[in-house]
Chains A and B, each alone.
Chain A
Amino acid sequence: MNAAWLPGQAISVIGAAHQRQGKPCQDASLCCQLNAGHETLQLLAVADGHGASRYWLSHVGSALACAEAEQAVRQALTQTPLRDQAAWRQLLHSELASRIHGAWLVAVERDWQGRPEAAEQPFSALSYGCTLGLVLLAPQWWGCSGIGDWDLAAVAADGSVQLLSEETGGTGSEATGSLCQPLQEQPWGERALLQPIDEQAPQALVLSTDGVRKSCATDADYLNLCSALIELSRSELQTGLQQITSEGSGDDVSVAMALRPCHRPSATPTRRQPAIRWALAGLTTLALTAVAGLAGWRWLQQPAPLDQLIADLCKAPERIRPTLNQRRSQFAALLKQPNLRQQLQAQANTDPLGALIASNASQSCPTLQLELQRQWREARAAGVKAPAKGKMPATAPSPP
């Protein structure tokens, strides 16, 4: 058994755009329990087939990627005890990559040979191109590895959420690492991680394909979404993912996630009995109607957007870094063009975050002030280097 983790769940939902175009879901996902003697290792995996026409069999590629990941981990379990964390770290860093990539190539070529097109065209792994992210959950540790633009977020015991791993590098907004590349071009090691289960261990891990994060307006919204997703039942998750793709990127969306037994629902749970939800919805409507007349008066009483932003961030310090991380390029731009400062300050009503960065208005909140100082240091250190894909780096910068 695996006392450290509850059985998780994995689900993939076809993107709204793909559904409309009659294309298959190119994502695949997996959650399974693998026996390891008296213990159990849980595997989470998501794979995302590249959507463009040259990757026309990527829906097959992603399904085979998940299947081969399971086989490779299953095989590793027969040779490597879970207690040997050093060996598993090495597996996550490079050996699993080699095994999965090799098996995946064999599997996709076998699939190709069974197709009528094989008589006329040579096999190309490119047609099956996909990403693969995997998370291993052992009683003593957890780890992750993979290739491509998947994301991994951790929900802590206090409800705060942190982006643990994302793809970095590359300047093309839709470019990603892929299983169809030669193995030496696949930087699995950059995303490999193994952490012991201790007091600092996350209470939940959420692995997702890029369609989920790209459906959120900002990274802070993505982190909020992760904390909401872990509260959902499977049917709610299915509905939720449909909403995410239809109101967001239109891309296929997949999540695979698992919780630890001591996870407590968040302070503002989203998972409630339907009857209670409906009652709450009715009460909310009545309450909204009752206060509608006061709205005009109340907005006059509202603090300025910049003050409101500072107050909001100060109340939720776990949101400070993800919020500021979204604007790393703005820190860099201000270093190069200090005259942007006045322009941003003048737009405080429409862009309070920009005004916050451009001003020195955070003194009332020491935590925010410290993080701003840290961001400035990082921006100076980074020089003019452009942000990868307009997103945060995979690993948070080290504190000074």
Chain B
Amino acid sequence: MAFPNVRLSNRPLHFIYLCDCSGSMAAQGKMQALNQAIRQSLPGMAEVARQNPEARVLVRAVRFADKAEWHLGEPTPVQQLQWRDLEAGGITAMGDALDLVAGALQSPPMEERALPPVLVLISDGQPTDDFDAGLANLMRLPWAQKAVRLAIAMGHDADLEVLQQFIGPEPSGAGKSPRRPLQASNATTLAQYIQWASTAVVGAASMPASRVSPVGEASGAAPAPGSNIPLPDLPPTLLDPSDDVGPLVW
């Protein structure tokens, strides 16, 4: 059956990596591990996209060092994505990266019927620019407020406080939570977290599931972090320090 003059469409799901490419990422194979983890996650992400045809998974990536720039600027269907290696060198313009993403989350170019985007911030250090201004610029946008925001700290020099600010308020209670920065202490853990974000989280964000508006949201308040998309459980990490097993590499 055809509906003349009607364009039916699945809903775009924008997935954006924000990757720290500062000089410290060159140490101890961190940059190589990140490239490897993202590249290895793509087939799984493509499979999740194939299983959820109602969502059109579009990937982009920002690299930030002395300044932020699009490493992959065109929203690219995950099935067509060929990952080019990131290279390390410079300082940590994280605030600039948030500004850059803010430009992409304006509406337009964001589509009216898009699914909440997924933003994954990966860093091993501390911002060297005005992070607060970048975050404020990003978070004034409704699409940023709706987004699933995740952060991965690579090694123990990462600034957990700014990563937590990016995600939103820390949840109460102890233990690991996707609402806290995920701490990757070696390549294996990093790969597991990247795989989790690009498959389990993308799968959850692809589902057409509505939820009840919390009180106050109807009057324009930002949704509570994590209230938009119920996040799946974190993967078990063999070498996660909070599990108190395995050596620390980074």
Contact = CB atoms under 8 A, between A and B. Distances in A.
Partners in one complex: yes
Contacts of B221: 171
Contact of B112 (A50, A171, A247, A390): A390
A246 B52 CA distance: 11
Given A218-B7, A228-B3, A172 B213 contact: yes
A176 B215 CA distance: 11
B53 to A, nearest CB: 7
A52 B3 contact: no
A249 B53 CA distance: 9
B4 A169 contact: no
B142 interface: yes
Contacts of B145: 171-172
B213 A214 contact: no
A52 B113 contact: no
B172 interface: no
B219 A217 contact: no
Contacts of A250: 10, 52-55, 208
A17 B208 CA distance: 8
A175 B211 contact: yes
B117 to A, nearest CB: 10
A243 B6 CA distance: 12
Contact of B7 (A177, A181, A221): A221
A174 B116 contact: yes
Interface string B1-31: 1111111111100000000000000000000
A374 interface: no
Contacts of A185: 215
B228 to A, nearest CB: 5
Interface in B29-66: 51-55
Contacts of A53: 230
Contacts of A7: none
Contact of B142 (A55, A171, A210): A171
Nearest to A169: B218
A249 B217 contact: no
B207 interface: yes
Contacts of B115: 173-174
Contacts of B142: 171, 386-387, 390
Contacts of A180: 212
A263 interface: no
A354 B146 CA distance: 24
In this complex, the member of B8, B52, B53, B221 whose beta carbon has the largest number of chain A beta carbons within 10 angstroms is: B8
Contacts of B211: 50, 52, 55, 172, 174-176
Contacts of A268: 4
Interface in A378-400: 385-387, 390-391
A175 B112 contact: no
A48 B210 contact: yes
Interface residues of A, number: 65
B208 A224 contact: no
A153 B46 CA distance: 37
Given A169-B219, A248-B54, A174 B8 contact: no
A222 to B, nearest CB: 8
B222 A171 contact: yes
B108 interface: yes
Contacts of A94: none
B227 interface: yes
Interface in B106-122: 106-108, 110, 112-116
Contact of A239 (B1, B108, B146): B1
Given A170-B218, A171-B146, A180-B212, A240 B1 contact: yes
A32 interface: no
Interface stretch (A200-208, A295-303, A327-335): A327-335
B7 A52 contact: no
Contact of A171 (B5, B113, B208, B217): B217
B217 A214 contact: no
B245 interface: no
A268 B3 CA distance: 11
A268 B146 CA distance: 40
B77 to A, nearest CB: 17
B4 to A, nearest CB: 6
A312 to B, nearest CB: 11
A210 B9 CA distance: 14
Nearest to B107: A329
B208 A249 contact: yes
Given A174-B115, A185-B215, A236-B1, 17 more contacts: A17-B207, A17-B208, A126-B212, A170-B213, A172-B146, A174-B229, A175-B212, A210-B210, A217-B7, A218-B7, A218-B112, A250-B10, A250-B52, A250-B55, A330-B107, A354-B108, A390-B110
14 contacts: A17-B54, A50-B212, A149-B210, A169-B213, A173-B114, A176-B212, A214-B113, A216-B8, A250-B52, A250-B55, A326-B112, A354-B108, A386-B220, A387-B142
Interface of A: 15-17, 20, 48, 50-55, 126, 129, 131, 149, 169-178, 180-181, 185, 187, 210-211, 214-219, 221, 224-225, 228, 236, 239-240, 243-244, 247-251, 268, 270, 326-327, 329-330, 333, 351, 354, 385-387, 390-391
